[in-house]
Amino acid sequence: MGAENREKIFDVVFFILISLIFISLLFLTPKFVGFMTAGVYINSPPSFNDSRPLPNITFTEDTIKKNAIDLNRSFFDPDNDEFIFKVFGNSSIIITINTTTKNVTFSANENFNGIEHIYFVGDDGHRRNATSNNITVNVTPATDIFWAFQGTNFSALNLSNPFNLSLFNAFGKINFSVQVNFSANASKGQDINLTKYINISFNRIEVNSTHLQELNKSATLSLNDLTFSNPRILRNGEICPATICTKLSYSKGTLKFNVTSFTVYSSEETPSITAEVVGGGGGAGRAIIGPAFVIDKKEIKVKLKQGETKKEFLKIKNNLRRALTFILDLDSIKEFLKNSSVEEFTLSPKEEKLIELTFYAKPETKPGVYLENIIIRAEKAEKKIPVIMEVSSKEVFFDVALKIPEEQQKIALGQNIIPEITLFKLLEDVKGDVLVDIIVKDSKGNIILQKRRTVFIASTITFTEDIAIPKDAKPGTYILITKATYKGKTAVVSKTFEVVEEYTNLVFIFIMIVLVIISILLILLIIFMLKKAIKTREITQKSSDINELILVAEEYINLKDRRKALETYKKIKREFDKLPRVGKRKVWGKVKALAEKLKLSK
């Protein structure tokens, strides 16, 4: 391979190395520095037009208020940069911002009603922003009907008008013979929980007419999948009188009959021979394959003020093909509940039950975040549902919002989280120092970190706090709590995050390893090529020197000066002996020819 070709190869390898180093810098800079410099520019800050404040919003529970606010009317950017809007202060109210029109649509979590104070921040994409006025969003209560049956579509009903009611599932059916009117409940905004007070399960139909007086009417009932030859109707476990129950038909396992009022209805085989059976025996335990029951929530989070009451619902389903008896252990949260601490009930195969939990924060409850568990047991199966209760003062001057960046919601031991904390005023004429407590608790409620700072507020303010998770903390779920206290009144907010033993980006590590290996190999290759190029250059130079000496010796031979020719040949021989084998091949022919000429010149 010629020297020219080697130089070309060296240039190509050098270019590849420089390219890889450049790519590596582009890849690593955002990871370890957090930003890339794109250039120098001058950008004017956006502004909020106070003469066009955002209006307060009111809508009814479980409805949607579409395109209620146009943010473009109140936010302005001199550079016509496109705004990126964020909303702060909402908890149960859901706010959707159309990325094209910037119209705002309001909705809320299911069954939520109440007031939340929010504001919007418009970012121009250059780390400059403008903040709107605080607005009040009021979700007014509505009559909710909770049902877990097929049949009548309550979502499409006007509850103030009479309607025909039909409820059914795989186990049976209720079809009311007369119209049902819930106008009294609708006028008061009272909820109607059909799921709680109606039970349609295997060989059982029950309507609790004490709580659902509107349904204590005549109806046609059907019980499905019966295995009796000749069933008879039972009322509260006793034979139903003919004045109340009328059997209509029994075909293919379905018993159909009329009733005049409601309680618990079931059926049994009509006995043909009465006999006494004496015997005994034992039973073996049944293995539970798969989850014995399922729960619709992994966590319950309740935000309360002192003296406030809120309802939450928990749905439990028997996942087996046989009945299960459940024990709902609420002992740990009984201080925050109005109903009993333990409830026991039985679910038929595949049956569901909706549990209503009424949370209540007593007026004397200390503001803070309380972590407890609901324990649900059925035979040998047990599940725990974490309950997070945020209790704020009954009246507060400021509210607080908390945001943990998405990439920090799962971190490694010893790493930091940098949450964004926003404090905003609820009263315009209030300003002063707000005491902010930042607390980290583990899943058992133990405090592992606590910080305190004072923030002066004259208007809405957003700041960050660098929080280092101790290296001796255990992996698991943690809760970050922020309390803002002003004149003895405290607002509370919390967010959960996860700590793992080692949180790594495998793709990033793999690329890093590959880049390091490639870089090392290229560096070694370049060093080898450089050494080889230098050696080749030295050989070329020495060969050239030998060629010049050969020319000098030949000139002395032509001049018949044998002595000087021999002296020159000795120099050539010394230099020739120093050359490596590759260099010797280049000049061997000429050196040999010179030696022949010296012999002939004797």
R_g (Cα) of the chain, nearest Å: 42
Residue span of the structural domain in which 123 resides: 47-140
pLDDT of 250 > 90? The answer is yes
pLDDT(273) > 50: no
284 is a domain residue = no
- Same domain assignment for residues 490 and 394: yes
Checking if the pLDDT of 382 tops 80, the result is: yes
Within a domain: 281: no
pLDDT for position 288 = 36
Whether residue 390 sits in one domain with residue 434 = yes
The full DSSP string for 317-367 is: EE-SSS-EEEEEE-GGGGGGBSS-SEEEEEE-TT-EEEEEEEEE--TTPPS
Closest CA to 351 of 193, 151, 198: 198
User: 108: which strand partners?
Assistant: 93
Whether 421 shows a pLDDT value over 80: the answer reads yes
Report which of 411, 391, 425, 421 is spatially closest to residue 482, judged by C-alpha positions.
421
In a domain, 233, yes or no: yes
Amino acid at 68: A
Q: Which of 121, 140, 159 marks a domain boundary?
A: 140
pLDDT in tens, 89-121: 998 999 999 988 999 999 998 778 889 999 999
State whether 67 and 132 are in the same domain. Answer: yes
The predicted pLDDT at position 85 comes to 93
Record the tokens describing residue 19, joined without a space: 């390219």
Residues in the chain: 602
Same domain (yes/no): 457, 315? yes
pLDDT at 419: 93
For the four alpha carbons of 261, 262, 264 and 269, in that order, the dihedral sign comes to positive
Residue 54 pLDDT exceeds 70:
yes
Q: How far apart are CA 455 and CA 423, in angstroms?
A: 9
Residue 192 has pLDDT above 60, yes or no: yes
Q: What is the mean pLDDT of the chain?
A: 82
- From residue 266, how far is each of 236, 427, 463 by CA, in Å? 8, 60, 63
Confidence (pLDDT) at 87: 94
Concatenated DSSP letters for 431-493? -EEEEEEEEEEETTS-EEEEEEEEEEESS-EEEE--EEPPTTPPSEEEEEEEEEEETTEEEEE
Please report, for residues 1, 20, 509, 521, the alpha-carbon distance to residue 514 in angstroms, rounded to integers and kept in the order given.
31, 11, 9, 11
Closest CA to 486 of 366, 422, 395, 361: 395
- β-strands 145-146, 192-193: how paired? parallel
Residue 51 within a domain: yes
pLDDT of 543 above 60: yes
Residues 514 and 492 in one domain: no
Q: Per the structure block, which two tokens stand in for 413?
A: 């031991």
229 shares a domain with 305:
no
Of 140, 165, 182, which residue is a domain's last?
Answer: 140
Does pTM top 0.85 for this prediction?
A: no
Tell me which of 526 and 193 has the higher pLDDT: 526
Q: How far apart are CA 344 and CA 355, in angstroms?
A: 11
Higher pLDDT among residues 599 and 163, named by residue: 599
Which pLDDT score is estimated for 5?
58
In a domain, 198, yes or no: yes
Residue 262 sits in the same domain as residue 375? no
Residue 562 confidence (pLDDT): 82
Rounded CA-CA distance 361/376 in Å is: 23
104 and 249 fall within a common domain: no
Same domain, 559 and 448: no
d(CA 110, CA 61) in angstroms, rounded, equals 8
Write out 91-106 in H/E/C secondary structure: CCEEEEECCCCCEEEE
Is 381 a domain residue?
Answer: yes
**Which pLDDT score is estimated for 281?**
37
DSSP per position, 4-37:
HHHHHHHHHHHHHHHHHHHHHHHHHHHHHTS---
Following CA atoms 260, 262, 266, 268 in sequence, which dihedral angle do they give, to the nearest 10 degrees? -40
Residue 133: pLDDT band by 50, 70, 90 thresholds?
very high
**What is the domain count for the chain?**
4
Residue 283: how many CB atoms within 10 A of its CB? 5
Residue 425 and residue 531 in one domain: no
Share of the chain above pLDDT 70, in %: 83
pLDDT of residue 149: 58
